[in-house]
Structure 1
Amino acid sequence: MTDKIEGTGSVENDYPASGYSWYVVVLLTLGYILSFLDRIIVNLLVEPIKADFALTDTQIGLLMGVAFSIFYATMGIPLGWLADNMKRKTLVAVGMFVWSAATCFSGYAKSFVGLFAARIGVGAGEATLSPCAISLISDLFPEEKRGRAIALYSSALSIASATAFYLGGQILTWANSTDTSGMFLISELKPWQIVFVVVGAPGVILSFFMLLVKEPKRQIQRAKDETAISFLKTVNYYKNNLGSFLGISLLVGVMTTIAYAQFFSTSLFIRTWGWEASDYAFRNSIGLLVFAPPSVMIAGWFVDKLHKQGVEDAAWKVFKIGFIIMIPPNVLFPLMPDPWMALFVSFFGLIGIATVTAAGVPSMLKIIPGKIRAQSIAIYYMIISMCGLLIGPTSVGFLTDTFGNLQYSMAIVPAIFGILGLCFLPMINRIYLNQIKKEITI
């Protein structure tokens, strides 16, 4: 049976009403914001966690990366298969409840082991979201309108980063200056623990709204005698079409490695320039909101514009631009002599990261058969998550413990992986351009 790349054979009337489609995308985006908020809030709390539990930077890196990625990466594949074969909105709702509850439980951890286990729960719950979300969006919008919808969903990363730093800083300041001894559920908690509880609670509520969403019609329908697409068939597809899929995934993996290496940014500004965590949180949140979401939306708009002009590799062109401009600022900002200069340079690095984020998924969707879309996106997120979470913060922590200089550690990691990515980019470009001309058999 053949399935033409991106070809659904559907007309626009087969899709849900535009207003309702955007409502679902907004819900998914809010979920993604909360998921990333729960994922990265630990970055703001590195110093008090490290002090209370007497941890090394390597252990902090394990909390930021390995603990979260254990199930986030591996569970994405079976969950992607489920998303291709059952109601996706139910998977999202259950996952949202799990990761939000686990974030709350992080605030009650009494040791490194307890916090590590809670972070595993956050990763396990969040694994449900993106495979289901991208599959849902693909069935809510025709291809020529999909770029902006995916861009809005992808903008959650930058919005959540800003929200995490701003709200986390505000909650931390409030918890440090307020007597919480008589408050329900948080009376015995330290300020950093209160932050976990407060940021985890909204996701529990949002999970019930996701249950009310109407599951959209899958735009690629199976024949009556066709069974569910097995994971084995998905594997066979990649055996025959590995180059472009793996190439894009690894390049986006470079982006996530660079982005997650910045999990130590709060500590960088505290240790190197003496800023308070709340001060860095506020200032960084402003820059994140100013630079990142517009970059994501502009990239999505540009992808749609090029696609309407008949450019087959529209998303890939935008992807390459973002990848190239991402690397220099992220290498240089930790080495700046002044904290304000470092902060300003880091914002330009966000433009490249945001562009790669927005264009990565549409580039991948161009070469993925529709019947295995959720499974494929799950594998894609597994690869980029393992690259970013396992390598980024852990390598920075290890280098800092080994050589004693956080500035150099945060510059070395993006330099090494960025240069490797640039070396492989021409080869991956050739493979990808050949791939989009083919008709995929599965």
Structure 2
Amino acid sequence: MRPHAQARSAREIQRCRPENRGRNVERSLSNEIAHKSRHRRKRRMKMEQEADRPAPAHWWMVGVLCLVNAVAFIDRAALPLLVQPIKRDLGISDTMMSLLIGAAFIITYAIGGFLVGVLVDRFSRRRILGIGIAAWGVSTILCGSATTYAGLFLSRCGVGAGEATCGPASMSLVKDAFDTRFRGRAVAIWAMGASIGGGIALLAGGAILHLVGENGAYVVPVLGISIRSWQLVMIACGVFALPVALLVFTFPEPARRSAGPTKSVAFKEVLEAIRGRWLVFALLFLANASTIMLSVAYSSWVPAFLGRVWKIPAGEIGLTYGLIVLLLSTTSQLSAGFLVDLVYRRYGLPGVPALGIAICALIFLPAVLAPAAGSISATWLLLAAFNLLAASLFTIGTSTIVHLSPGSVIGKITAVHFAWVGITGTAVAPTLVAVIADRMFEGTQSALGSALSTVGGALAIAGGLCLLAVYWQMRPGRVVSSLIPESAR
């Protein structure tokens, strides 16, 4: 008999002995019980995952919030397209125009944001959004009706106050409606509104300027009132916003995961909630400020740069650049949402800033080279690459803030965050480019392009370094175990 056959026979004889039969039965029963237990556990986990899956109403809510964000950014993107005609009609400088784009908006946006943050954590977020949308729609119409720099400046302040409601209210709703498995995608869909709004503003504004002419005027039928082309663009943006205010009442408000709508949480409790994670928040705020400044600097001055350096009419700039923003930036933000959820599942929260570091490294070259390209074809190609990458950074940064923030104080934290990035992005970035162009490059023909390259490269490096510091603080063995409290899950 062969050796392996002898061994098999010995095992069978051993198994058949009376004293081993009971053990074999017990072992079989134990294996069967363990198998059933694993099966029940898997089925229970699957049922829990299905129960946590967002309801269709919540996805509809995110779609409406995306539209709200789009309407908000229609105004922000339209104004930079109108730099040349507004400067010509009102007789103002680049620096005065940058204050109109930035400071006039952000003064009330930042101040109003703190108040909105308190209200969002206590009262109906749908109602707050509806009032805010109506307010900035009316203010945008007033911008189009202004005939002086002072009137336009004050109307822009009204737009900032209304738009201060958008970010905190939207992020509070998303936090309560989606768990961590879907939150990145929900934030990405909301953030897509910025690119959709920016693209629509450039396309529609470019079409109006192309039809009416940059220096032309439009006579309103019946009334016989003549308005300039830039005024027509702004009035159209404001009118479009008003019906959107009603859409926020078409979805149910999700139940709050922690503090109820009538419970007041003081800012002292906000500090208590982030204690132990303050350095991560501080570094993340710096990182997000750098990446937002990078995006805003380009979106504010690229239309003027293309007009001055390449002599492209504003209408053509709006149509071409609008398509780039509408198609590539929205694709970037949606893809970033899926990537955020993917790296969060595989690597935990530290994987999210690591993704941002990679994007900052990739965006450096197009940020520096796009304004210095030797041909218009290369310029458009590099601008397309820049927009494809830049839009994802906003989704990554905002998703990280939402993951980190406890649900009871998310309104206040996101209000501070949006006010901070608004001040640094909307107010500082456009003025920084203008000042560098005027002072460092002495206002030459190529000054604006050189300023964009300088600012773009510096901010890409700054954003990457800050995100590297965020990742270093979140890495395993440091504060990562205490980063996400139960209320933030």
Pairwise CA distance, 1:227? 4.4
Pairwise CA distance, 1:310? 5.8
Amino acid at match of 2:281: F
Q: Does 2:264 align with 1:228?
A: yes
CA contact (8 A) 2:140 2:235 kept: yes
Q: Which residue of 2 aligns with 1:193?
A: 231
CA-to-partner distance for each residue in 1:105-141, whole Å, 9 max, x for gaps? 1011111111111111111100001111011011122
Q: For 2:346 and 2:463, locate their aligned partners in 1 and report how far apart those are by CA, in whole Å.
A: 29
CA contact (8 A) 1:102 1:119 kept: yes
Amino acid at match of 1:418: A
Q: Which residue of 2 aligns with 1:411?
A: 453
CA contact (8 A) 2:371 2:450 kept: yes
Q: For 1:118 and 1:222, locate their aligned partners in 2 and report how far apart those are by CA, in whole Å.
A: 35
* Greater Cα offset, 14-23 or 61-70: 14-23
Q: Does 2:358 align with 1:332?
A: no
CA-to-partner distance for each residue in 1:322-359, whole Å, 9 max, x for gaps? 22222321122111121221121011112221221111
Q: For 1:15 and 1:63, locate their aligned partners in 2 and report how far apart those are by CA, in whole Å.
A: 45
Q: Which residue of 2 aligns with 1:8?
A: none
Q: Which residue of 2 aligns with 1:245?
A: 281
Residues 1:176 and 1:70: Cα distance change in structure 2 (over 3 Å): same
Q: Does 2:114 align with 1:70?
A: no
Q: Which residue of 2 aligns with 1:387?
A: 424
Q: Does 2:152 align with 1:115?
A: yes
CA contact (8 A) 2:329 2:391 kept: yes
Q: For 2:306 and 2:256, locate their aligned partners in 1 and report how far apart those are by CA, in whole Å.
A: 48
Pairwise CA distance, 1:180? 3.7
CA-to-partner distance for each residue in 1:203-240, whole Å, 9 max, x for gaps? 111102223432211122459xx942112221344464
Amino acid at match of 2:469: M
Question: 1:170-189 maps to which residues of 2 (within 5 A)?
Answer: 170-176=207-213, 180-183=218-221, 187-189=225-227
* Greater Cα offset, 27-36 or 177-186: 177-186
Residues 1:158 and 1:182: Cα distance change in structure 2 (over 3 Å): closer
Pairwise CA distance, 1:401? 2.8
Q: Which structure has the larger Rg over C-alpha atoms?
A: 2
Consecutive unaligned residues in structure 2, runs of 5 or more: 1-47
* Greater Cα offset, 349-358 or 411-420: 411-420
Q: Does 2:471 align with 1:435?
A: no
* Greater Cα offset, 52-61 or 383-392: 383-392
Q: For 1:185 and 1:60, locate their aligned partners in 2 and report how far apart those are by CA, in whole Å.
A: 31
Pairwise CA distance, 1:163? 1.0
Q: 1:360 aligns with which of 397, 400, 407?
A: 397
Amino acid at match of 1:192: W
Q: Which residue of 2 aligns with 1:346?
A: 383
Q: Which residue of 2 aligns with 1:80?
A: 117
Residues 1:415 and 1:16: Cα distance change in structure 2 (over 3 Å): closer
CA contact (8 A) 1:16 1:140 kept: no
Q: 2:201 aligns with which of 155, 164, 167?
A: 164
Q: For 1:174 and 1:435, locate their aligned partners in 2 and report how far apart those are by CA, in whole Å.
A: 57
Amino acid at match of 2:301: F
Q: Does 2:337 align with 1:300?
A: yes
* Greater Cα offset, 323-332 or 169-178: 169-178
Question: 1:209-224 maps to which residues of 2 (within 5 A)?
Answer: 209-221=247-259
Amino acid at match of 1:80: G
* Greater Cα offset, 415-424 or 66-75: 415-424
CA contact (8 A) 1:155 1:297 kept: yes
CA-to-partner distance for each residue in 1:154-174, whole Å, 9 max, x for gaps? 111222221111111112223
Q: Does 2:183 align with 1:146?
A: yes
Residues 1:363 and 1:179: Cα distance change in structure 2 (over 3 Å): closer
Q: SS where residue 189 of structure 1 aligns?
A: strand
Q: Which residue of 2 aligns with 1:315?
A: 352
Q: 2:304 aligns with which of 239, 263, 267?
A: 267
Q: For 1:92 and 1:157, locate their aligned partners in 2 and report how far apart those are by CA, in whole Å.
A: 16
CA-to-partner distance for each residue in 1:361-395, whole Å, 9 max, x for gaps? 22122322111111111111111111111221111
* Greater Cα offset, 365-374 or 96-105: 365-374
Q: SS where residue 233 of structure 2 aligns?
A: helix
Consecutive unaligned residues in structure 1, runs of 5 or more: 1-10
Q: For 2:234 and 2:387, locate their aligned partners in 1 and report how far apart those are by CA, in whole Å.
A: 25
Question: 1:8-23 maps to which residues of 2 (within 5 A)?
Answer: 18-23=55-60
Residues 1:227 and 1:88: Cα distance change in structure 2 (over 3 Å): closer
CA-to-partner distance for each residue in 1:21-68, whole Å, 9 max, x for gaps? 111111111010010011221111000000011111001111111111
CA contact (8 A) 1:15 1:140 kept: no
* Greater Cα offset, 27-36 or 341-350: 341-350
Q: Which residue of 2 aligns with 1:89?
A: 126
Q: Does 2:170 align with 1:133?
A: yes
CA contact (8 A) 2:296 2:430 kept: yes
Pairwise CA distance, 1:360? 1.1
Q: Which residue of 2 aligns with 1:4?
A: none
Q: For 1:14 and 1:175, locate their aligned partners in 2 and report how far apart those are by CA, in whole Å.
A: 54
Q: Does 2:242 align with 1:204?
A: yes
Bigger RCO (CA 8 Å, 6+ sep): 1
Q: For 2:463 and 2:432, locate their aligned partners in 1 and report how far apart those are by CA, in whole Å.
A: 17
CA-to-partner distance for each residue in 1:269-303, whole Å, 9 max, x for gaps? 11101100111111112222332111111111122
Q: SS where residue 85 of structure 1 aligns?
A: coil
Identity percentage over the alignment? 24
Q: TM-score, normalised by structure 2?
A: 0.83
Q: SS where residue 415 of structure 1 aligns?
A: helix
Pairwise CA distance, 1:315? 2.6
CA contact (8 A) 1:332 1:411 kept: yes
CA contact (8 A) 1:260 1:393 kept: yes
